[in-house]
Structure 1
Amino acid sequence: MWLLAAATDRESLVSLVSLTQLHLCCEGIEGFPESIGFLKKLKTLKASYCTSLTRIPSSIVYLASLSLLDLTGCDTLAQLPYSIGSLLSLQHLLLSGCNSLEEIPYPIGKLASLTELHLKSTAIMELPESIGSLKELKTLDASYCASLACTSSSIGHLASLSLLDLQGCSKLAQLPDSIGSLVSLPRLLLSGCHSLREILDHIGKLASLTKLHLKSTAIMELPEIIGSTKKLKTLDASYCASLAGIPRSIGHLASLSLLDLTGCNKLAQLPDSIGSLVSLSRLLLSGCHALREIPNSIGKLASLTELHLKSMTIMELPESIGSLKEIKTIDASYCASLAHIPSSIGHLASLSLLDLTGCDRLAQLTDSLGTLMSLPHLLLSGCHSLREIPDVIGKLASLTELHLKSTAIVELRESIGDLQNLRILDIGGTHITELPSAIGMLA
């Protein structure tokens, strides 16, 4: 039975002895009556966003059938009763957005059936030691707990855990060594833990790890042992402003499909072993201002579809880039030092976007560009040193967008009339004074 209720007086609840689901949608509710304990068959109790709710009665202990307790967004709720530990059938405890909740009662460790614990954006400062007793727990979300400074060492006992989300815990400075015991953990999310300075070697024991998010942490290096996480598919270490090195062992991550190092402005070098990442489809390096060179071994990345190099200090793309047969996107925009594009770029038969916007020093394009028969998007705006477009541009049969804004080009080739699929031609801010007669062929 479902009930959307504003009234929670004793009489209305005592008479509902067969009630299995109770949804409370009233902002004026300050607390549940003690009589709620009479609802012996209740399985679902939802009181989310009851913003005036300040108390949960101890009689909740009698709800022996309760499997879901949703108190999401009850931002004036400051305390949970210790009797909550008696809810032996409880599987889902949702407390996210309880901004006044500073403590999780110790008896929570008695919730033998609990599979989900959501604590996002609460005011808790620590997780209780008893949390390690939750043997069935699969999801632990304590993200954006701005006061959370430590996690219990007992967390290593959570053998069923599949998601540990500590994103945005800005005071969290260290992970317990016991985290290495979570051998079944596939997802570890630590992005936005601004005080976290190192990832311990114990992470190498996480044999089931597929996602590791470290975005905007204070880590200075990745441990050599990271190469032991053989199932890792996603490694996001973007905007780690202190990250200065990537270990050679990264080449052992045979399952890795995404490596995101965007905005790591102290990263000066990539190891040659990066070429061993045979499953890598996306390599994101934009904003790595100290990275002056892309290793030649990048040409071995047979599965690569996206290469993002925006705002780097590279002077050239390696000749081996022509071996990336699956690549669809190359973004080398705003690489102010980029002066040379290798002729091997013409071998990239799958390329759909070549973005060289804002490459100030790029003065010439290779004639091999004309072999990119599948290329729809060529972006060259802001290439202030670029004085001409090669005649082979007319061979780009799939080209739909050609951006030449603010280049030094003074004329367009007649061959531009061969671009029958061209929809956008931007020549604003150039010194072109006359259009070729062939432009009339662009229907």
Structure 2
Amino acid sequence: MANSFCKSVPLPTDDQNRSPWGKKPTPWGNDRRVSQPEQPQTPPASRDSLTGEFVGLRGRMFMLALKTGLFTVLTLGIYRFWMKTRLRRWYWSAIRVGGVPLEYVGDPIEKLLGFLVAVVILAFYIGIVNLLLMFASFSLFQDNFAAYLMSFIGVIPIWFYAQYRARRYVLARTRWRGLRFGLEPGAWGYAGRALFYWFLTIISAGLLWPLMTFKLEEYKTNRTSWGTGKLVQGGRWTMLYPSAKWVFVGAIAAAVTAALVYFGDSQQASLLPGFIAFVFLSFGLVYYRVDSLRRLTETKEMGPIQLRFTPSAGRMLGIYVGGYLLATLIMFMILLASGLATMFAVLGSLSNLTDFGSRDITQANTMVLYTIGAVSYFAIFLLWSALTQAFITLPTMRHYASVLVLQGRDGLAEIRQRPRDEHIEAEGFAEALDVGASI
């Protein structure tokens, strides 16, 4: 029985793909009756390819995010680990490549225990290391600025370490076609490289940003595997410079704006260049993120298996801008309606207190306001989290899944199962440092 898990899920034959009415469905066996996913923006794939799709519904995601968020608040944050697990399972099951969904098998208990271990280690760092830094700072400089600076610098490598560990855990608990993904150990190596390439990016005034992006992604990709298949990052770091073109245009416009502000006599002369800089930088950051992801994804290989990935930067900008605007509008309407209802409720409750003294009325009014304030705070938190999941995270995943094509379908049959990665720390440091807060 153990050997049955060491083989890839067999591909369906033509007879298995044939419907009872004799009509053969799409070459990839997708069931379009589940929902109407976004149509891929890629040319039609060959029979040797598998296309991606997203079959999740926005309403169900909104209710799931709202319900699990409410449980998290009621349990004072303890349910957070179960919330993230349920959300990931929902998203993973909605993403399908060749009609086969991804699986997320993470355990919330693992997350909780890993978080407690990370908190103990970070408490030691904050309590002992920071105390020594503070003592040294006052002894040498008669001030605490150096201690705070060194403490902040000391957290940066831990932050990168947590990023890598979180990615390793998520991949270790993700499956497709019954085979596990995996990421080799190397968190401290990634942290050291991240510090080095960030340093190069800063001293080069951002000109080496593509180098940093490529090298860090290459480090993670070359240690990633699916079953026994090893992923390799191809290409060169210079291929990312076209992705950064709008960022550089925005940076030039920002430099012109700064020069006009510093040397010009009129502040109004800098308004137009400043607006241009803002527009180009905003669009440029989105474009760089999307286009660099496309270039890096399309140069990844796993033997004969390759990926085609054609996301749209304009589409992603529309998701970000439209999603946040729509979420803000809905939030404003809900808060306005609830505020008016609360005001009438408070006035009605105060009108029933005429038999009490002024002191009793004041105390009752204060308690009502405190209660309303606490409920409103958590209501805003829950609603905003659920709205951003429904209008930003879900459309992003839908778009990315719909433009993904896996080529080299026949090579999947050669992949076998990989050993389980226990990864007992889970995402503890990422949770403690709020690195892995998102899906």
The verdict on a shared fold, with TM-score over 0.5 as the criterion, is no
Q: Which TM-score band applies after superposition, normalised by the shorter structure?
A: under 0.3
TM-score calculated relative to the size of structure 1: 0.18
TM-score calculated relative to the size of structure 2: 0.18
Structure number with the higher helix fraction is 2
- Max Rg structure: 1
